[in-house]
Amino acid sequence: MELLKTLILGSGPAGYTAAIYAGRSGITPVIYEGIQPGGQLTQTTDVDNFPGYPEGVDGNALMDDLRKQAERFGAQIRTQICTKADLSQRPYTLTFDDGSQVQTQTLIIATGASAKYLGLPDEEKYRGIGVSACATCDGFFYRKKTVAVVGGGDTACEEATYLSGLAQKVYLIVRKPFLRASQAMQDRVFANEKIEVLFETNTLGLYGEDGVEGAHLVHRKGEADERRYDLPIDGFFLAIGHNPNSEPFREWLEVDEIGYIKTQGQTPRTNVSGVFAAGDVADPLYRQAITAAASGCKAAIEVKNFLDEHDL
């Protein structure tokens, strides 16, 4: 079986930054790109808050640049997806979706987080034909149409605002009587004439012949006051948070109640020596590209120190 010094899982800002630092310190990094090559930033358009780009930068362009920079320092990029991990003893053994296995002395888990769905059977039925969890990826298909966004956080408000630039009408479906988003985001939503917020409303299902034509909604104000109705829409966007992609490692690593990998203090160290977690898979709090990149850097420095200390 192939034995590596270090293996990086994930190709978002954390994974690539780890590869850049590992490559520059003389370790040949091997990256497995994962389910979404380039990570979540490939699903956005303009990234305005990554330092060094005074005019902002396209998310895909930023990730392309990071990949090229990692390759310049020798990163080998592979496409398989890790499905199983045995972290019981070093070298650690990872199994991939094509059945292949690799052993590694150190591991950087930078597998990110994935969008959550409500769990309705109709979400599966209409996925790609009216249901999406990424407004910036799919909003283009709803020009001059009517869409709904589910969620009351910053992501939902951001997606609703973005969609209002394309669609003719945007409903924001919020289960509570208030938004959880930051005040600035709320102000933008309430000032936008194209967005209508439906508070205390839940989605029961979707309907339509060859795609989404509407949503079955229920408006609840206490137990006594319940009103069910159908809302005609062409697109249904989920923006209700994310799940950390930590499943293959939960048997071995300490995770919080949601599944975010726990790291020690300000380091990316996990409870298994030589295994580090960086980026959104270990960050329930900040979840920013720049904080992910920073933790990828820390993880690579930790790997270098670990390999030196263990004479590997």
- Rule CB under 6 A: choose which of 38, 39, 130, 152 binds ligand NDP: 152
Residue 220 within binding range of ligand NDP, rule CB under 6 A: no
The 146-150 sheet, strands edge to edge:
131-132, 235-238, 146-150, 169-173, 195-198
- Rule CB under 6 A: choose which of 240, 255, 261, 303 binds ligand NDP: 240
Taking the complex as a whole, the smallest distance from the CB of residue 280 to ligand NDP amounts, in Å, to: 10
Taking the complex as a whole, the smallest distance from the CB of residue 181 to ligand NDP amounts, in Å, to: 7
Q: In degrees rounded to 5, what are phi and psi of residue 252?
A: -110, -30
Q: Which residues contact 266 (CB under 8 A, 6 or more apart)?
A: none
Residue 194 within binding range of ligand NDP, rule CB under 6 A: no
Q: Is 79 left (phi over 0), alpha (psi -120 to 50) or beta?
A: alpha
- Rule CB under 6 A: choose which of 156, 206, 212, 272 binds ligand NDP: 156
- Is 297 a residue of the active site? no
Residue 175 within binding range of ligand NDP, rule CB under 6 A: yes
Question: How far apart are the C-alpha atoms of 34 and 52, rounded to whole Å?
Answer: 27
Residue 176 within binding range of ligand NDP, rule CB under 6 A: yes
Of the pair 226, 251, the CB lying nearest ligand NDP is at: 226
Binding to ligand NDP, residues 79-118 (CB under 6 A):
118
Q: Which residues contact 268 (CB under 8 A, 6 or more apart)?
A: 108, 276, 277, 278, 282, 295, 298, 299, 302
Q: Between the CA atoms of 273, 275, 281 and 287, what dihedral angle is there, to the nearest 10 degrees?
A: 80
Number of residues that bind ligand NDP (CB under 6 A): 15
**Which range in 25-33, 148-156, 205-213, 227-235 contacts ligand NDP by CB under 6 A?**
148-156
Question: How far apart are the C-alpha atoms of 74 and 11, rounded to whole Å?
Answer: 15
- Is 138 a residue of the active site? yes
Question: How far apart are the C-alpha atoms of 283 and 20, rounded to whole Å?
Answer: 21
Taking the complex as a whole, the smallest distance from the CB of residue 86 to ligand NDP amounts, in Å, to: 32
Residue 244 within binding range of ligand NDP, rule CB under 6 A: no
Residue of minimal Cβ distance to ligand NDP: 153
- Is 137 a residue of the active site? yes
Residue 56 within binding range of ligand NDP, rule CB under 6 A: no
Q: Which residues contact 51 (CB under 8 A, 6 or more apart)?
A: 290
DSSP state of 260: P
Residues assigned a catalytic role:
134, 137-138
Binding site for ligand NDP (CB under 6 A): 118, 150-156, 158, 175-176, 180, 240-241, 287
